[in-house]
Amino acid sequence: MSQPIDTLIQCRWLITMDSKRRVLEHHSIAVKDGKITAIVPNSEAEDLYQANECIKLEQHIALPGLVNTHGHLAMSLLRGYADDYPLHDWLNDHIWPAEGKFVSHEFVADGARLAMAEMIRGGTTAFSDNYFFPEAVAEVCAEVGMRGSLYSPILNFPTAWGSGPEETIAKSCKLIEQYQEHALVNIGFGPHAPYTVSNEAFSEIAKQEAKYQCGIMVHLQETQKEVDDSIEQYGQRPTERLQSLGVMNERTQCVHMTAVSDEDISILQASKSHVVHCPESNLKLASGFCPTEKLRQAGVNVSLGTDGAASNNDLDMLSEMRTASMLAKAVDNNASALNAMDSLAMATIDGAKALNIDSYTGSLEVGKAADITTVELSALNALPMYDPVSYLVYTNCSHQVSDVWVSGERLLAAGLLQTIDEQALRDNAIEWQSKISAD
């Protein structure tokens, strides 16, 4: 007798990103209670399963939902606000003053919803966010149905979210406890950077993180200037300083890492910390080049992130994969560096590892959550099709994402958002543009 399931998804190609990185043809994914119960040939699927809904995507690639391991979602409302400035001028003279005027719970919720819509339409199912009012982002995650790993911002000076480290660490701990059992949301600590957080604050963060084992996200060695200033002030590179303060561990995400020495790599290896590569943001802000191939060859887990839309200016993970691969080849002077499959891994299973969610997402495997993205293949730029992985990475195809599921819930169906009112979203974004432009 056939087994009852919720959904049967049939595709032309299926990229599992499992330990064998299998690429299957003409296979189906059986989904029940939000999880993958089987992956079987299409020819057998309808005899084996009685589905409430059978979705035949015969000209599509199915792959794990993409994992964007670094962003500032609400900054989507500042997309294009201050372009073509170097990092510190961009932050100090433009972004931080604008945030001081406009950031609020409402701003963050509205910006997060806009960012989630963009990410879903680009095939992303899980993301990392580091921004003020993480509770607002958590609320939108539950509303939209998207996975969010939210790292609450901690800085030495007052912000819209708190008076300083003492208050923001306490608020972070409260949120961590509140969301410990949530199906979609994880909360961790997000100390902004070594140059904006004191030793005392880092030590307290390390103490609390050890208690909750919730993860730390920190912008680290984003520029050579940051490294030089740290050596002058502390007599240590930023990685050495954070290692001595107990910040570096297997749940720590080191974002950017463009100025990397052999000493840094040794610390990353010993601590098992992760590196989050944001190639397009790094290029746009002229921050430097992360040596992804050297890090990966040293056994460091490297994942992929877009950064915020104010410094990218999009949240397109498929585009980010292409940029990452091409940049790695140029930096390493090696055309084989960061091949297509490795780039896709950075955006899926390696991203899930960085966020400590790989036990239930990041690959298409029996028992894992049905976090699935499909890409349509009938467009001219998809022909001929020799290698679906190469196609995803090296061809501009994010506009061909057709369907997205998170825990078996369909968030995008044939290119249409299912849990977000797109017209209301457009109207809201234009309202914010008017407010910010009028300032």
In this prediction, what percent of the chain has a pLDDT beyond 70? Answer: 100
Q: What average pLDDT does the segment 67-86 reach?
A: 95
pLDDT tens, residue by residue, 148-183? 999 999 999 999 999 999 999 999 999 999 999 999
Local structure of residue 276 (DSSP, 8 states): E
Question: 112: burial class by Cβ within 10 Å (0-12, 13-18, 19+)?
Answer: buried
Nearest Cα neighbor of 304 from 354, 268, 258 is 354
Maximum separation of any 2 CA atoms in the chain, in Å: 72
Cα–Cα distance between 161 and 137 in angstroms, integer? 13
Cα–Cα distance between 106 and 392 in angstroms, integer? 36
DSSP, collapsed to helix, strand or coil, labels residue 132 as coil
DSSP string, 211-274: HH---EEEEES-SHHHHHHHHHHHSS-HHHHHHHTT--STTEEEEE--S--HHHHHHHHHHT-E
Exposure string for 226-257, b = 16+ CB within 10 A, e = fewer? bbeebeeeeebbbbbbbbebebbbebbbbbbb
The mean of the pLDDT values for the chain is: 97
Q: Is the pLDDT of residue 1 over 80?
A: no
Q: Is the pLDDT of residue 87 over 90?
A: no
Q: Is the pLDDT of residue 318 over 80?
A: yes
pLDDT tens, residue by residue, 92-143? 999 989 999 999 999 999 999 999 999 999 999 999 999 999 999 999 999 9
Q: Is the pLDDT of residue 74 over 90?
A: yes
Please tell me the predicted confidence (pLDDT) of residue 379: 87
Please tell me the predicted confidence (pLDDT) of residue 229: 97
pLDDT tens, residue by residue, 13-28? 999 999 999 999 999 9
pLDDT tens, residue by residue, 406-439? 999 999 999 999 999 999 999 999 999 999 998 7
Q: What average pLDDT does the segment 262-277 reach?
A: 98
Q: Which domains does the chain have, with CATH numbers?
A: 3-64+368-407 (2.30.40.10), 66-354 (3.20.20.140)
Q: Report residue 251: phi and psi, to 5°.
A: -110, 10
Tell me the chain's radius of gyration from C-alpha atoms. Answer: 21
Cα–Cα distance between 190 and 151 in angstroms, integer? 4
Cα–Cα distance between 232 and 157 in angstroms, integer? 22
